[in-house]
Amino acid sequence: MMLDWTRQTLDNGLDVIVHEDHRCPIAAVNLWYHVGSRNESPGRTGLAHLFEHLMFEGSLHHDRNYFTPLQQAGAAVNGSTNCDRTNYWEVLPANALDLALWLESDRMGYLLPALTAAKFENQRDVVLNERRQQYENRPYGLALIALMSALFPPDHPYHWTTIGETADIRTATLEDAHAFFRAWYRPGNASLTVAGDVETERTMDAVRRHFEEIPAGPAVPPAEPREGAASPAGGVETERRLRLEDRVELPRLYLAWRTPALFGEGDAGMDLLAHVLAGGKTSRLYRALVRDRRIATDVSAAQNSRERAGWFCITATAAPGHGLPEVDEAISGQLAALAADGPGADELERGLAQVEAQFVYGLQTVGGFSGRSDQLNAYNVFTGDPGFLARDRARYRETGVDQVRYLARRLTPGRRVALSIVPAGDPRRALAGSAPAGVS
């Protein structure tokens, strides 16, 4: 499972990666900026995500809607922001590649002259409405905000979510947006991948023609060191029990721990542990909580790998007639069993098969989220090696029963955040000793 690719770095610092695949006459353009919500500061959150919106509002030489010319050419277009990066992509007929490169280069090099107060205020309102829809008015929607603020201290860049805090979004100014762009949106902080029915040298020439004139700008600060298996707990040294009242029918329990960072020691093992615990209907937690005892309607587990630090979360919704203390006891029992004996060889094998399937699924398309162009950029930005795929897979194959057992032992009640979301007006259904969670 290998990808052929060629990488060159322009004089202004832009990394350019080309991957040829001539089976279908389409091209994928994928551009990553190594900036996300972790590059913000308390009181100025939400700018990275707001800027994702602003990048679609036009630039100096195309001062109108970004989607229209691309969609007229038959393209699919999108973008996203998380705590560690912002990306933009287009998938379009190969003969329209030049259009996508020109538009991407124009907004990289010439966005600010077209960024007006009217555009800024319009997109700020869009983001505030998105926050209401995705978080405030969505059942269980405030869970992530409560968990991040509890897992990470106020001065940690993962303390806030990517959407940002409402007060910060409201008080952000056009000058803040201009400063954010100048600090992070530059060639030396970007990685561009072009994949599909393209020729490498011709594509490199086209990229140079569009991007090479953009000034490099000052160097960006180096990334903070990753947290590994030796010290993943961070500031969570005693259990924190929190509760949120929400407009929900059934109470839900979130159990979360600080864990190793993306590609850090133990990160792959935590991923496999999640599969052992809740990866399908044969997993330990599904059998114990949903199938056999029927005390939960659903259960899931995930290692949320981030560049500086990760976090592991088990989520379960109590079934009618059952409570969160019963659910918590059952989960803790399964974790204790894994910590004592480790997973069976068959469980680990199933987990590895699920991971391998995810790798294969990501290779099926050249563009879009998690396609080959996106993977090449991710590996390039986070490891410096676009071809990290083989080493990434090896991390999982090299993880054995003993390491998974060791990692399970770190998921103790004394190092966790336990968040109960309960129906409004019924706080007694939360775990005993839960304090109100702070969300903003």
For residue range 151-205, list pLDDT tens digits in order: 999 999 999 999 999 999 999 999 999 999 999 999 999 999 999 999 999 999 9
| Alpha-carbon gap, residue 389 to 405, rounded angstroms | 26
pLDDT given at position 264? 96
Q: Which residues pair with 81 in a beta bridge?
A: 86
Of 164, 196, 211, at which residue does a domain stop? 211
Plot region of 104 (φ>0 → left; ψ -120 to 50 → alpha; else → beta): alpha
**Same domain assignment for residues 205 and 248:** no
Residues 282 and 187 in one domain: no
Q: What is the pTM of this model?
A: 0.95
Q: Do 189 and 271 reside in the same domain of the chain?
A: no
- Tell which wins on pLDDT, 235 or 259: 259
Considering the domain architecture, whether residues 199 and 319 belong to the same structural domain is answered as: no
When computed from its CA atoms, the radius of gyration of the chain, rounded to whole angstroms, is: 23
What local confidence, expressed as pLDDT, does residue 439 receive? Answer: 86
pLDDT at 228: 65
d(CA 33, CA 234): 27
Please state the rounded mean pLDDT for residues 387-392: 96
Whether residues 166 and 39 share a domain: the answer is yes
What digits encode the pLDDT tens for the residues 391-416?
A: 999 999 999 999 999 999 999 999 99
Q: What is the pLDDT of residue 226?
A: 75
Within a domain: residue 225?
A: no
Q: Which residue has the tokens 């399970």?
A: 408
Q: What percent of the chain has pLDDT over 90?
A: 93
The number of folded domains in the chain is: 2
In this predicted structure, what is the pLDDT of residue 438? 82
Over residues 41-53, the mean pLDDT reads 96
pLDDT at 68 over 90: yes
Pair (203, 261) in one structural domain: no
Residues 21 and 159 in one domain: yes
Distances (CA, A) of 153 to 42, 158, 254, 408, 425: 11, 8, 19, 24, 29
Report the CATH number that the domain containing residue 296 is assigned in CATH: 3.30.830.10
Looking only at the bridges linking them, the beta strands covering 6-9 and 86-93 are unpaired
Residue 440 binned pLDDT confidence (cut-offs 50, 70, 90): confident
Kindly state whether residue 226 falls inside one of the protein's structural domains: no
Indicate if 163 and 63 belong to the same structural domain.
yes
- Residue 315 inside a domain? The answer is yes
Residue 234 has a pLDDT of 53
Whether residue 101 is found in the same domain as residue 28: yes
Q: Do residue 341 and residue 379 come from a single domain? A: yes
Task: Decide the pairing of beta strands 240-246 and 416-423.
Answer: parallel
Determine, yes or no, domain membership for 369: yes
Residue 232 confidence (pLDDT) above 50 = no
Q: Does residue 103 carry a pLDDT above 90?
A: yes
How would residue 219 be classed by pLDDT, with cut points 50, 70 and 90?
confident
User: Can you give the pLDDT at residue 162?
Assistant: 97
**CA dihedral in degrees (336, 266, 301, 245; nearest 10)?**
90
- Answer whether residue 382 is part of any domain: yes
Q: Is the pLDDT of residue 230 over 60?
A: no
Residue 122 lies in a domain: yes
Structural domain of 377: 240-436
Beta-carbon count within 10 A of 212 CB: 13
Which region among 22-26, 150-154, 222-226, 353-357 has the lowest average model confidence (pLDDT)? 222-226
The pLDDT value recorded for residue 233 is 45
Task: To the nearest 10°, report the CA torsion of 241, 242, 248, 250.
Answer: 10
Within this chain, do residues 174 and 259 fall inside the same structural domain, yes or no?
no
| SS3 at position 272 | helix
Domain match, 158 and 244 both:
no
pLDDT at residue 235 is higher than 70: no
216 lies in a domain?
A: no
Q: Does residue 179 belong to any structural domain of this protein?
A: yes
Domain final residue pick, 211, 231, 248: 211
Which pLDDT does position 2 carry in this prediction? 75
